[in-house]
Amino acid sequence: MISKPKGTVDLIKNDSVYYKYISDVFDAYCEKYNYKFIRTPIFEASELFHRGVGDSSDIVRKETYDFKDRGDRNITLRPEGTAGVVRSFIENKMYADIIQPVKLYYNGTMYRYERPQNGRLREFTQLGVEIFGSNDPLIDAEIISLPINIYNSLGIYNTIVKINSLGDNQSRENYKKALKEYIKPHLKNLCSDCNERYEKNPLRILDCKVDKDSDILKNAPKISEYLSNDSKKHLEKVLEYLDLLEINYKIDENLVRGLDYYTDTVFEIEVDSKELGASKVIGAGGRYNNLVSSLNGPDTPAVGFALGVDRLISILKLEEINIPVKKEIDTYIMYVNETEKEKAIYLNQLLRLNGYISEINSLNKNLKAQFKEADRYKAKYLIILNSEDFKKSLITIKDNTTKEEEKIKELDLVEYLDMHI
């Protein structure tokens, strides 16, 4: 037997029902928020992620699936959705669209060569949103309120938004300098990853998993002390609008995020659950006002978020949240001989085209077994075909709950169901 690769999942049975439900809710919300659907390739030129997500991020340093294609091109399976959407925004000149800001939503599988564990997969699905062209804090608040409204609608209420500002370029450069000066004498006491980060991306030292509880990091200078007036005002407004929208948040000054492109607002949404451990972060995002220009597009402010579907499925299961699932079918069509079978095939399509969930015996079962199968499907109505009835253009229909049965004109079947279901 060939098994699935490590860190991947088969979405089957209940999990696939949850998956579909989550993506349907997500799509419905994005449409209400007036976002447009976008699909970008699963693989892109490796350079996009090196320049986009960032050479110093753990994702690009250690986790990408890179390969050369048969034309000797360097290709990477996307580890996240933002860089591809930004590439598409620039390549398709969406910055010149009449309607601005450009608001896009997407879904898709992402690939990271992580150590597989609960909630951490090598292939996982993200649902995400990116907005281009507005630097208004109301858009930051919208990007945070959208996933919260989606979680609530799924029945997940115990969430908390952790939020921070990484400031604009100048604020961040000043802060990086101060942080490096502070960290320098302590470097020998920090882990090897932090020593590497010191040169390439000192901010990432702040959310090091190994050293996070050390006094060195606890006493480090805070980014809030280095924010420019504009960045301070931006954060204040985002928080004000979140209050207005009644979104719970907690400022977390050590939140810097694992991708290099963020500016100003960054956030992570956690679900309050002990069982989930590291995988309790069910969505995250932030502003990335420099990414479009650093990938050779025009200077364009942008903000976005993505949520992990696989983690949401685990939570819905763990908390035993019931979702509305259609467990029954509308009609089951029964027949015995070939003439009846042909009529059954025809009627089955007719009903499906008229919006009914209809099923038919395809295992050559006798009539008794077909009754049993109809019950297993929880069919609401049984359509029992009998070639004798055909001569008078009649068919027998049976309410499978009340067990009442009547003969109706074949031509009236759809109308009959429209009135009864």
Binding positions for ligand HAM, rule: CB under 6 A: 80-82, 112, 114, 119-121, 124, 126, 128, 130, 258-259, 281-286, 304-308, 310-311
- DSSP reduced 3-state for 358: strand
Residue 140 CB, nearest approach to ligand HAM (Å):
11
Residue 360 CB, nearest approach to ligand HAM (Å):
39
Residue 383 CB, nearest approach to ligand HAM (Å):
45
Residue 421 CB, nearest approach to ligand HAM (Å):
39
- DSSP reduced 3-state for 10: coil
In this structure, are residues 265 and 238 in contact, taking their beta carbons and an 8 Å threshold?
Answer: yes
The three-point CA angle 244-248-254 to 5° equals: 120
Helix (H) or strand (E) holding 317: helix 309-318
Residue 82 CB, nearest approach to ligand HAM (Å):
4
When the beta carbons of 265 and 361 are compared against ligand HAM, the nearer one is 265
When the beta carbons of 288 and 381 are compared against ligand HAM, the nearer one is 288
Beta strands in 96-158 (DSSP E): 102-111, 123-132
Residue 120: DSSP 8-state = B
In this structure, are residues 349 and 397 in contact, taking their beta carbons and an 8 Å threshold?
Answer: no
In this structure, are residues 96 and 62 in contact, taking their beta carbons and an 8 Å threshold?
Answer: no
Nearest to 334 by CA among 276, 280, 286, 395: 395
Residue 200 CB, nearest approach to ligand HAM (Å):
18
Q: Using only C-alpha atoms, what is the Rg of the chain?
A: 28
When the beta carbons of 140 and 310 are compared against ligand HAM, the nearer one is 310
When the beta carbons of 306 and 395 are compared against ligand HAM, the nearer one is 306
When the beta carbons of 268 and 340 are compared against ligand HAM, the nearer one is 268
Q: Sheet of 43-45: strands edge to edge?
A: 43-45, 74-77, 65-68
Decide the pairing of beta strands 102-111 and 123-132: antiparallel
Residue 282 CB, nearest approach to ligand HAM (Å):
5
Nearest to 113 by CA among 86, 72, 82, 78: 78
In this structure, are residues 169 and 231 in contact, taking their beta carbons and an 8 Å threshold?
Answer: no
d(CA 51, CA 44): 12
Residue 316 CB, nearest approach to ligand HAM (Å):
14
When the beta carbons of 133 and 308 are compared against ligand HAM, the nearer one is 308
When the beta carbons of 127 and 333 are compared against ligand HAM, the nearer one is 127
In this structure, are residues 307 and 301 in contact, taking their beta carbons and an 8 Å threshold?
Answer: no
d(CA 226, CA 232): 9
When the beta carbons of 118 and 401 are compared against ligand HAM, the nearer one is 118
To the nearest 10°, the Cα dihedral for 247, 252, 257, 262? Answer: 70
Residue 412 CB, nearest approach to ligand HAM (Å):
52
Residue 254 CB, nearest approach to ligand HAM (Å):
15
When the beta carbons of 121 and 163 are compared against ligand HAM, the nearer one is 121
When the beta carbons of 131 and 397 are compared against ligand HAM, the nearer one is 131
- Tokens representing 231 are 């960045």
